[in-house]
Structure 1
């Protein structure tokens, strides 16, 4: 498959998501969520399409995308690791884990490792407060994550030999 064919397929998916959701009240957020769920991020080319369909400026669409930490404007790595930075997790050591995770992976939050394996993000609550500090790895939430456990999670992701639990 060529990149051009992929771009056309992505555009068709995005057009379909916009068409399906554009008449809902407050359609911008559902559309952005739908596109990111489908594509993994909000492609730049979709901003103009969204703006045109919702009668908004591209700046208004960009403003919403940049306001919410959840939305990405670049493709994520093969895996996404989110470190909870909410108060309950902070009380259980997430500040140290935040620093360690960035140092271990060699990236800041909302960045992807050079091998495109892991995107590191911060999140403001995973609903696992009693077991903090917590990390979400793709769709799995892991509690009581120490620096050593973080190393294990990274190793599991990069070798794909051990299932997360």
Structure 2
């Protein structure tokens, strides 16, 4: 994962101002904030609402509707596990249970040591080689718990 900036309301206001005049500005703003900070801080909600003349509820609703937006920083490594039907047919549900248990997290959770965040995705396009995952945007086919552990260990070094 790329290095993110530490949250700053001043920097967030600059980002919001850069995009505020665009048609349909909310999603570009949210994407830019997440790209910059790795998440959309709760302090950004009133800044966005004021800039776009929206209610805070509308902004919060958009953030929570889309699964790609985070309201807290992700772990140092991001694991996205495919939950689509093809991967389920290859035993991903049982596998996901084992992975989540090993890491000590729930869906959309981050391990206690901040090392790994796990998120569900709904098709990675690796259907013929499932179960599948992304580790820091790198695809892994024929996923097992041990293959994931190796990928995470390799990513740390």
Taking structure 2 as the reference length, the TM-score comes to: 0.89
RMSD: 1.5
- Paired residue for 2:15, among 17, 32, 38? 17
1:50 CA drift (Å) = 0.4
Which structure carries more helix by proportion? 1
Separation of aligned partners in 2, 1:57 and 1:116:
33
Mind listing any 5+ residue stretches in structure 2 that lack a counterpart? Answer: 1-5
**Alignment match, 2:154:** 156
Is residue 2:30 matched to residue 1:32?
yes
- Paired residue for 2:78, among 77, 80, 88? 80
1:138 CA drift (Å) = 0.9
**Alignment match, 2:3:** none
- Comparing both chains, which one has the higher relative contact order based on Cα–Cα distances under 8 Å and sequence gaps of 6 or more? 2
1:128 CA drift (Å) = 1.9
SS at 2:81's partner residue? strand
- Paired residue for 1:139, among 137, 140, 143? 137
Alignment coverage as a number of residue pairs: 152
Taking structure 1 as the reference length, the TM-score comes to: 0.85
Mind listing any 5+ residue stretches in structure 1 that lack a counterpart? Answer: 1-5
Separation of aligned partners in 2, 1:89 and 1:96:
11
